[in-house]
Structure 1
Amino acid sequence: MVKAESASRPRRFGSWVRSDLAVGPALIAPAVILVGVFVLWPIARAVYLTFFDYSFLADRSAFIGLTNYLEWARDPRMWHSLWISVKFFMLYVPTSMAIALLIAVLIDRLANAHFASIYRTIFYFPVVLPAAIVFQMWIWIYEPTLGFMTLTGEAVGADTSLNWLGEPRTALGALAIMNVWRHLGETVIFFLIGLANIPKENLEAARLDGASEVKIVTRIIIPLLAPMIFLVFVLRLKVLELVAEPLFMTQGGPIGSTMTYGLQAYELFHQEDRIGYANTWFVLMAGLAVAAAAFAGKRMRQFQN
């Protein structure tokens, strides 16, 4: 009887705590292992290689300390490509965010949920297209003889002699236009999520008080969307290391007008086989992106206050 009573007695609180402490680490262990193997280890390896003159093909690995960092600061290719990337960022990000905000506000005001869903799908469709298809499609659009831009210019009587991807003054802007179209739907979805969290009563009260639609957007919607705008800004910082678009569409030309920071580092890695030096470029750009995100976050908090 004593054994039966002890067997049916509930476990004490301490035993439950010990059990939970054992189960918790076991549940998060797979995620920790994945992050360690596919995120932390590659980052640590990349930083480690920046201190070496490492070449895969030449089978060379010599410790050189901070030499790669000093060369990076003195390299004219770095300053040129960094300026190209900053110009691309300024062309692409503000334009994309402004257009996406306008579209998101218009979709959010649709009374018919079915139509709103259709428009969301239409604008998000380019996001899911394979990159190679998008790049080839826009090469055809920019084709200087029979491309869509040329034929459209002829139809409206505009100058059709412009070679969008073949002239230094237009090539970078052409890549920015393509990226705006390609990623617009993603930004629209982010802004729609933010708009869904804005109380409609605030907007209706502003309209009853006689506020114009422009003031509603600038004085109510944009301040309340500041966290989402900041998120989109941080996500778009990755274009500072843009590689695929100029590599596929312009190969960095014409005359280096689309030789972005990321493409220059890519060529250092794959063509010159200077793997340690190329890693220095990527590590320092990551540091610059983190600094830019921190600065933007500080300004956002000041704007909200």
Structure 2
Amino acid sequence: MTHSSLPMRVPAAGLPARVRIHEVGPRDGLQNEKAIVPTDVKADFVHRLAAAGLTTVEATGFVHPKWVPQLADAGEVLLRLTDLPGGVHVPVLVPNIRGLERATAHGADRVAVLASATETFARRNLNRTVDESLAMFDPVVARAKREGLHVRGYLSMCFGDPWEGPVPLDQVVRTARALADMGCDELSLGDTIGVATPGHVGALLDALAAAGLGVDRLGVHFHDTYGQALANTLAALQHGVTTVDAAAGGLGGCPFAKSATGNLATEDLVWMLQGLGVETGVDLDALVAASVWMADRLGRPSPSRTVTALSHKE
């Protein structure tokens, strides 16, 4: 690749100087692949992403293999990541106390729980009401904090739900506040089916701020179903958010929400941020190479526009 694989740098006012990318490709991106991805391939993918400069790479999830067979090798994956350079964090998803125990037994020091802002998705994904699911997570978060772990709370369906439609802001705020109050260090606001638009993003961040949840504790997690993920991310950055979830190569969706398409592609995010003069610490060429490598393993091209553009340059 030549120097033309970087955008012209034209900073815009009102944006953070640096953004931390929370890379979710190895977990959220691969969890609903039909064919089981070999453990060595998953571990190699994490190593390649870390080598590209990503400092937070969500590696796997300690969930029941009956529900997510792709993550049945969670422990083996973590054992292959003990040689990652210092400063690289590999959070893992844990659904309950059993998952937390398995994760800590394999050396995890960062965990995440996954809650829902809507009743229907809570029922379909967790087989519980919203309040029942929060009650289930409370002892998980409390124990993780006692053991010195960093805890992230994912909040799904923050903008729209395929069964319930648009989600009222106060409903999202209530659930987010509950996760924060139980001890989550960070909350990730999920647009699980990709229906958010920039004004909606700003309104939710304003509502959360009014409830005492400032942007220092918030990350955003946009899906690109309607092509809005980058626009929504920019709106969040303009509100001061500095943590953005993305998946290398645009991998992933949600196995329990059929209308959900892929996550925001990390490469597309990095291209935009580099053009805006926002630091990420990520080497875009190395990241594209990692995604092309993974796409070859999966047997299909990456949906990322930036991967497509840069991997075809002579």
Is the TM-score greater than 0.5? Answer: no
Question: Rg bigger for which structure?
Answer: 1
Higher RCO, 1 vs 2 (CA within 8 Å, ≥6 residues apart): 1
Please identify which structure carries the higher helix content: 1
TM-score normalised to structure 2 length: 0.24
TM-score normalised to structure 1 length: 0.25
